[in-house]
Amino acid sequence: MRVTFVTGAYRPDRCGVADYTANLRSHLFKKGVASTVITTYAAAQTFQDPSVQGAVNRWNLANLLPLARKILATETDILHIQHAAGSFEFQRPIFLLPELLKRLGYRQPIVTTTHEYGWWEWQPRWLPAPALEFLKQWGQQRGWWDREDGFLLTNSAAIITTNDNIARIMGERLPRLCDRIYPIPIAANIEVAPVETQTARQHLRQSYGWPQASPVVAFFGFLHPVKGLETLLPAFQQVIETHDQARLLLIGGVETLALQGTDAQNYWDKLQQQITDLGLKDHVSCTGYIPAEDASRYLSGTDIGVLPFNPGVTLKSGSLLALLAHRLPTLITQSKETDPVLTTGEVVDRVPPRNSDSLAIALTQLLEDADARTRLSQSGYAFVQGFGWDAIAQQHLEIYEGLG
């Protein structure tokens, strides 16, 4: 079987969707599925790999026809579009691609994975709001188009979502498509490196000149303004008032598709300045971007995971699954979007977003309660066993085969 993936920018080192696609490809390959990626010329040029091909410079309307021609010229059994607004430069012409391909005679099944949904509706200023709403409802009720993603979903033979909340919203909007919607959760965005825990602990503390007895709290993921780091740092300042030996390690880089060049450097500088202003230079370190195996070894040497995202944490977070896979008792921010399985029981500990005081109290309690850390570690690790790339690839393969 041959699958062609269309991704906004195939840079796994800078984009979560691209990293997801790369992992999916490698595990599908083990099951006998060959794949090609069609992306931007700039992204393709970073690979010395003929299976990663450029077709467009930008994702604007002018590049839609060249993209379609590239797809038509690629021998494939399945076309699989991996969509997230940011990875496609917040451009909407990709929503017209399935309709254009159909009119050009393309007959192979189209699969779409929606990594984001429910927040990015088309709202042009030139069209009166009542008329626009009428058109959205009229086409949606007939299953012709979707109020958010145009023809992308309605012309897909299968729609894969990365969590149940997205699937629910889609089902409410597009009831005729319910039998095409398949929720498949993501997996951890790094694998657990083989390392003995005590060795990892010693190496981490030696690397940063920290006392061997220091408890280490870890944040893992790209450092972005929405990740709640501006909340975490003052919270940690409160933590060290009673736990001076505690250390905080921010594992991850800044440069991504969403935050590039000068903007990325400015945000990095802002974080470093906040660390200095809060008097945390001896207690907080940032790794910058490091290879996945190094990140895993660091995580294996830490004691607590924390993800203080401003919008709250959901199962769409590969970083969350990575922390749990490394057996870390993990503290997250909870919002109305947080999956119910995370808001009950002891998979994770929870605090409200943007609240340094609550975050500081919760971190302090975890540092002081070894039994709570053990319970969270065990329950989180047991929970994450249901999220693995082999199972994800197998579910994709079954969908593909069902369309053949």
Q: What is the pLDDT of residues 53-69, one digit of tens each?
A: 999 999 999 999 999 99
Does residue 350 fall inside a structural domain?
Answer: yes
Nearest to 168 by CA among 299, 365, 337, 20: 337
Do 215 and 338 belong together in one domain? yes
Same domain, 133 and 52: yes
Q: What is the DSSP string of 68-105?
A: HHHHHTS--SEEEEEE-TGGGTT--GGGGHHHHHHHTT
Q: Does one domain contain both 26 and 173?
A: yes
Instruction: Collect all residues with Cβ–Cβ distance below 8 Å to 191 and sequence separation of at least 6.
Output: 292, 296
Q: What are phi and psi of 317, to 5 degrees?
A: -85, 110
The one-letter code for the residue type at 166 is: I
Residue 169 in domain: yes
Report the distance separating Cα 238 and Cα 155, nearest Å. Answer: 53
Q: Is residue 192 domain-resident?
A: no
pLDDT at 346: 87
pLDDT of residue 316: 87
205 belongs to a structural domain: yes
User: Are residue 279 and residue 379 in the same domain, yes or no?
Assistant: yes
Residues of the chain with pLDDT under 70: none
In a domain, 346, yes or no: yes
The SS3 assignment for 34 reads: strand
Res 322: pLDDT: 96
Work out the angle at residue 242's Cα, subtended by the Cα atoms of residues 237 and 246, and round it to the nearest 5 degrees.
Answer: 65
Same domain, 165 and 27: yes
The full 3-state SS of 201-233, as one line of letters, equals: HHHHHHHHCCCCCCCEEEEECCCCHHHCHHHHH
Do the beta carbons of residue 37 and residue 21 sit within 8 Å?
yes
Identify whether residues 182 and 206 lie together within a single domain.
no
* pLDDT given for residue 259 in this prediction: 81
Work out the end-to-end distance of the chain between its first and last CA atoms, rounded to an integer number of angstroms.
10
State whether 351 and 392 are in the same domain. Answer: no
Give residue 21's pLDDT: 96
Please indicate, yes or no, if residue 227 is contained in any of the structural domains: yes
User: Is 231 found in the same domain as 167?
Assistant: no
Question: What is the model's pLDDT at position 386?
Answer: 84
Based on the domain organization, do 292 and 304 belong to the same domain?
yes
Sign of the CA dihedral running 120, 124, 130, 136: negative
As for how many domains the chain has, the answer is 2
The answer on 332 and 230 residing in a single domain is yes
CATH code of 183's domain: 3.40.50.2000
Asked if residue 343 and residue 270 are part of one domain, the reply reads yes
Q: Residue 10: which domain range?
A: 2-187+388-403
Q: For residue 211, what are its two tokens? A: 């006392």
Question: Three-state SS for 404?
Answer: coil
In the DSSP assignment, the letter for residue 350 is: E
- Please give the C-alpha separations between residue 112 and each of 7, 159, 206, 268, 363, in angstroms, as whole numbers: 11, 5, 46, 34, 40
> Measured on CA atoms in the order 355, 359, 362, 365, is the torsion positive or negative?
negative
Query: Smallest Cα–Cα separation from 284: which of 367, 339, 217, 190?
Result: 217
Residue 118's pLDDT is what? 87
Closest CA to 106 of 74, 76, 72: 72
- The reply to whether 369 and 253 lie within a common domain is yes
- Identify the pLDDT of residue 306: 98
The burial class, CB within 10 Å (0-12 / 13-18 / 19+), for 171 is: middle
Sheet strands side by side (includes 247-251): 284-288, 247-251, 216-220, 304-307, 330-333, 349-351
Closest by CA to 304, choosing from 283, 288, 326, is 326
pLDDT attached to residue 337: 85
β-strand pairing of 158-161 with 284-288: unpaired
CA distance 351 to 121: 30
> For residue 212, with 0-12 CB atoms within 10 Å meaning exposed, 13-18 middle and 19 or more buried, which class applies?
exposed
Residue 163 lies in a domain: yes
65 backbone dihedrals φ, ψ, rounded to 5°: -65, -45
Residue at 19 is within a domain: yes
Phi, psi of 166 (to 5 degrees): -65, -45
**Could you give the CA distance from residue 217 to residue 233 in angstroms, rounded to a whole number?**
12
